[in-house]
Structure 1
């Protein structure tokens, strides 16, 4: 483990990620990369370059992609994996993680989140503030579980899907990859086609 961490993205999500890294107290220093050249400091943390320079820092830093957009996060994360970067898992000290939970590299678990036993969370996921992921779930790579989402037991969330703030997923439901579930939506049966889904229960739009 390296004693410095570099976070790609100095805006909203990146700042929350940096806050987790600071509270974990595993790294002596934290720095940002961001493509907005006008940002020099964020949260009192220095922005030392742009995201296209990430490979230059592989030897000295652990690197984490702090970008909310699933597709952009995926592309940057996979590039880092290709060059052998050290990519940590970030778990807020106030998150609750059950027994036999697997969490992939590049995933952030935010404050107040609960991940119950026997759940698998893939690479580059976001388990956002105050969300709950119950037992025996499978959250695939680069998915985003927004703040206040509640996922019951034995649910599968496909690769790159996004569950909007406050949405609810009933037990034993499969959501395929490439879905966007609207804020406050309720999913009570399988979703088998990528798309945007809203309402209670959800309908495709």
Structure 2
């Protein structure tokens, strides 16, 4: 199905990055929605609305565009409740391996790589230059940030955040809600939700 236009939920940094990918994909009609928008305000030159429109034009799709995993989950639920189709964007410069499966409302950024037979749940972000290697599974609403790498055969739970430049070595399991800080390296399973920092990654004190 050809996407005639895109309704982006949010107008923060990630929403702007998502708009850039959409434009690279040839989608030129964009509208942003953000509750804090002021009358007449625009985002990247496109309309910015304070509330959802009453209807979605024919051929348009919705992209939940919050960088925060929990907020993006809520945006997906709100769009689904309206019966509006969720967009999936894959940058033209990204590479996607054979037999991979990318869920609805995912964003694959510029120069990102999805390895063969990888599986991404709904609402995932694989950001600019990030790598999700072969046979790795990302649960719904994960975010692999810029230049981060998740090696092959890993399994990430829901709403996991892999920070900028962080690394997960092959074959590991990360539980729901794990946050691996920027530049950290996970060398063993991280089962419990929480913030993990350093090399090797250790759970941060509360």
Same fold by TM-score greater than 0.5: yes
2:167 and 2:114 map into 1 onto residues whose CA distance is 15
SS for the counterpart of 2:14 is helix
Structure-2 residue corresponding to 1:167 = 166
CA distance in 2 between counterparts of 1:15 and 1:28 reads 14
Give structure 2 stretches of 5+ with no counterpart: none
Does the residue aligned with 2:6 lie in a helix, a strand or coil? Answer: strand
Describe the SS at the equivalent of 2:117.
coil
Q: Which residue is equivalent to 1:181?
A: 180
Structure 1 residue aligned with 2:78: 79
Provide the rounded CA distance (Å) in 1 between the counterparts of 2:193 and 2:11: 30
Question: How far apart, in 1, do the equivalents of 2:76 and 2:13 lie?
Answer: 18
Structure 1 runs of 4+ off > 6 angstroms? none
| Structure 1, unaligned runs of 5 or more | none
1:37 deviates by 2.0
Q: Deviation digits for residues 37-64 of structure 1, max 9, x if unmatched?
A: 23711111111x224x25x234543111
Alignment RMSD: 1.4
- Is residue 65 from structure 1 mapped to residue 67 from structure 2 by the alignment? no
- What pairs up with 1:1-205 in 2 under 5 angstroms? 1=1, 3-25=4-26, 27-38=27-38, 40-47=41-48, 49-51=49-51, 53=52, 56-58=54-56, 60=58, 61-205=60-204
Q: Secondary structure at the match of 1:57?
A: coil
Q: CA deviation at 1:85?
A: 1.0
Alpha-carbon deviations, 1:93-117, whole Å to 9, x = none?
0001111110011000000101110
